[in-house]
Amino acid sequence: MLFDNKQLKFESLVRAYSTELYRYARWLCRDHFLAEDIVQETFTRAWQGLDGLRDVKAVKSWLYTILRREHARLYERKRLDIDEHQELDAIEDSGSSGAYDSMEMRDALGSLAEGYKEPLLLQVLGGFSCDEIAAMMHISSGAVMTRLSRARLALRKLPEFKSGRNVRSQ
């Protein structure tokens, strides 16, 4: 009976958060299949730790934290295959199949320092509050607000964002 309750609780978590976790994972790794793997591994770890979850209100940030850690684990064990005979000019960018605006936004976000980019994405894509982002990143909420403000300011300074219409305000 206890297992059934845990399974129902878990299934409701998967239904509620799988889409937005996938969207965040896809943005992090820019690969459809890899994003699916990361989300699946996130839910596997969530299942294993579900009994230890004390605060039901913190489940969203808990899942995002697991996902961020799973993404980081990929790069801990990733080995790059390097072909010394490959000409750099011959390498094509396979991830550039999106619209111009999407590429423009990706480039703009890519120009931000990592410390500014991550809180902005967690707020815009994840919908997290400053306090939730602070807990996930292990920094103060004041530091989060500062980073968000500086990220938006940096984006507004870019020529394509001068109007400010592409930057979500607080």
pLDDT at res. 87: 65
**Are 23 and 60 part of one and the same domain?**
yes
- Angstrom distance (rounded) from CA 67 to CA 83: 31
SS3 of 119-147: HHHHHHCCCCCHHHHHHHHCCCHHHHHHH
**Are 149 and 111 part of one and the same domain?**
yes
More confident residue, 26 or 156: 26
Which residue range is the domain that position 126 belongs to? 99-161
**Are 108 and 148 part of one and the same domain?**
yes
- Is pTM, for the whole model, over 0.85? no
- pLDDT score of 38 more than 90: yes
**Are 24 and 70 part of one and the same domain?**
yes
pLDDT tens string 112-137: 888 888 888 888 878 888 888 888 88
- Confirm whether 91 is domain-assigned: no
Domain count, the chain: 2
**CB contact at 8 A, 119 and 137:** yes
- Angstrom distance (rounded) from CA 109 to CA 88: 24
Share above pLDDT 90 across residues of the chain, in percent, rounded to a whole number: 18
**Are 109 and 53 part of one and the same domain?**
no
**CB contact at 8 A, 136 and 65:** yes
